[in-house]
Amino acid sequence: MNKRLLSIDVLRGFDMMFIMGFAGLVTAVCGLFPEGGDSFIALQMKHVEWNGIAHHDTIFPLFLFIAGMTFPFSAARRIKEGSKVALLKKVFSRGLMLVFLGLIYNGVFNLDLPNVRIPSVLARIGLAWMFAALLYMYCGQKARFLIAAVILIAYNLLLMIPAPDAAGASSLSLEGNIVGYVDRMVMPSHLLKQGLFDPEGILSTFPAIVTAMLGQFTGEFVRKPRVSHKTLKMLCAAAVMLAIGLLWSMWFPINKKLWTSTFVLVVGAYSVAMFAVFYWIIDVKGFTGWTPFFQVIGLNSITIYMAQRIIPFSAVNRFFLGGLAGLCPEPVGKVILASGYFAISWLFLWFLHKKKVYLKV
């Protein structure tokens, strides 16, 4: 199976929907009810402070998982059309382009080079995807399974060592982890947390590679011809990963900022299960009437991520809806503005889709 799966684009669109305004809309709607921002649903729309997981913590790794998933399809096509050397060049160019786009997102054109943040979400995606792709090209599946396991176990052992400057803090705390220490030694003025810690730093890129590899394993499995009950088998694999991740988390917490091994497994389980459901509904059963809304987002996911940084969608939204929102009670006004922001973001992507304009990286 080498054809492009519609479920991949739709799932990517569903994932990105939450960071192009839908999470804010959900939070605003929750504000209409007594519990407001403290309700369970509202809390799912933001990151946990340190240990633990909320839905918002799954968005980034699911996107990386999907990026890994697409590679077995694109690699097979590119090798058939050209050569392995051409594919290798594409892997490096895509990885480095995402690193560069991450620098643009972080404001490199402000020319404050001594202080510009070097790590980024896009750099994490680019580097993790690139190294996973190289492993895919030059290692067999069994070897890659072993490499993934070794990375997760080694990362756990490494994080048991407190940072030399921990001053008694736990090795798994914000202040005492060795992940932050390495970043402070290598790029102290280029980190997110004022020189203390960066959630997209150097060492935590290694377990992120495994997140991309889990996507690759899933893509390889789906591509296999004459395999029955694919959806059920993916759901079983997700259940096994979830069980291992939760059991392991009893001594190695689930932590997105550290991208712990347990985080990889638990969010990997979520990613596989979500894809299995979307795959069954869309590609197996053929229920596609609802998919264009999400496909519009999924086909231009990097575009909307960058556009929200560059284009003042909030100003456009307030220009059209600020007056109406101001006439309403504050909670209702927030829902109006959140709805408007999400609608404007989607319409921007819809316009690009109609014009067949896509940012290809």
Asked if residues 282 and 14 have their Cβ atoms less than 8 Å apart, the reply is: no
Decide: residue 331, CB within 10 A, 0-12 exposed, 13-18 middle, 19+ buried: middle
SS3 content of the chain, % helix, strand, coil (to 5): 70, 0, 30
Specify if 182 maps to a domain: yes
CB neighbour list of residue 138: distance below 8 Å, 6 or more residues apart = none
pLDDT at 193: 65
Compute the CA torsion angle 61, 66, 72, 78 (nearest 10 deg): -110
The token pair that represents 244 in the structure block: 């291992």
Answer yes or no: is 360 within a domain.
no
| Cβ-contact 104, 35 below 8 angstroms | no
Residue 202 lies in a domain: yes
Domain count, the chain: 1
> Residue 69's domain spans which residues?
6-354
Any domain includes 80:
yes
* Separation in Å, CA 284 to CA 15, 39, 45, 62, 207: 21, 36, 31, 21, 32
pLDDT at 55: 97
Q: Are 248 and 268 in contact (CB under 8 A)?
A: no
Establish if 361 belongs to a structural domain: no
Domain contains 179: yes
Q: Is residue 336 part of a domain?
A: yes
H/E element, 263: helix 261-279
Both tokens of residue 128?
């993790």
Q: What is the reported pTM?
A: 0.94
Alpha helices of 224-260 — where are they, by DSSP H? 230-248
What element of type H or E holds 344?
helix 330-354
Q: Cα separation of 204 and 179, whole Å?
A: 7
Angle CA 136–138–143, to nearest 5: 70
- When pLDDT is averaged across residues 241-270 and rounded to a whole number, the result is 98
Span 263-282, mean pLDDT? 98
Does residue 269 lie within any of the structural domains? yes
Q: Which long-range contacts (CB under 8 A, 24 or more apart) does 144-150 make?
A: 144/213, 144/216, 144/217, 145/217, 147/213, 148/210, 148/213, 148/214
pLDDT > 70 fraction of the chain, expressed in percent and rounded: 99
Range with the poorest average pLDDT among 13-17, 36-40, 279-283? 36-40
Q: Quick one: pLDDT band at residue 221, thresholds 50, 70, 90? A: very high
